[in-house]
């Protein structure tokens, strides 16, 4: 019985550790993949559960890393694949309507939430489930 209890605590501790790692993301420095996935337009890209950054100096940019961690939360709550489908669909709809890459990107609800809250390093501790939906019709970035 004593060993069984210890095993359960050990497994719970490991599970908590894994979930914590997932929520923080694994930061990978890769100029090639960051450029490839962003069309040479971003310093970082989130591909769950990884945060790809263009240069090792960005590893210490707390605002940038927080922005990308907000995307990790968004992806996780949408069960990952639907997040990317939704993200690119929203981008395409905005791009078709306004024909401006940067403006279409900035109008994506996921990006609006991330930009609006990237400087608040405590945001992820208080963030509500599906918080990005509050940014559907908002014109504020």
Give the pLDDT confidence of 91-135 residue by residue, as tens digits.
999 999 999 999 999 999 999 999 999 999 999 999 999 999 999
- Relative to beta strand 26-29, strand 50-53 is parallel
Contact between 74 and 68 (Cβ < 8 Å):
no
pLDDT score, position 81 = 97
In angstroms, the CA 52 to CA 34 distance is 6
- What is this structure's pTM? 0.84
Instruction: List, for residues 9-33, the tens digit of each pLDDT value.
Output: 666 566 556 666 667 889 999 999 9
Mean pLDDT, the chain, rounded, equals: 88
């Amino acid at each position: 019985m004593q060993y069984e209890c210890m095993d359960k605590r050990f497994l719970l501790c490991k599970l908590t550790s894994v979930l914590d790692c997932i929520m923080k993301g694994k930061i990978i420095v890769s100029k090639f993949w960051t450029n490839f996935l962003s069309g040479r337009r971003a310093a970082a890209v989130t591909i769950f559960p990884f945060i790809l950054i263009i240069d090792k100096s960005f590893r210490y940019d707390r605002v940038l890393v927080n922005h990308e961690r907000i995307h990790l939360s968004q992806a996780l709550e949408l069960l990952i694949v639907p997040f990317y489908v939704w993200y690119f669909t929203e981008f395409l709809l905005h791009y078709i309507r306004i024909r401006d890459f940067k403006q279409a990107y900035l109008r994506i609800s996921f990006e609006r939430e991330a930009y609006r809250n990237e400087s608040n390093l405590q945001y992820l501790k208080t963030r509500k489930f599906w918080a990005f939906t509050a940014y559907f019709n908002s014109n504020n970035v």
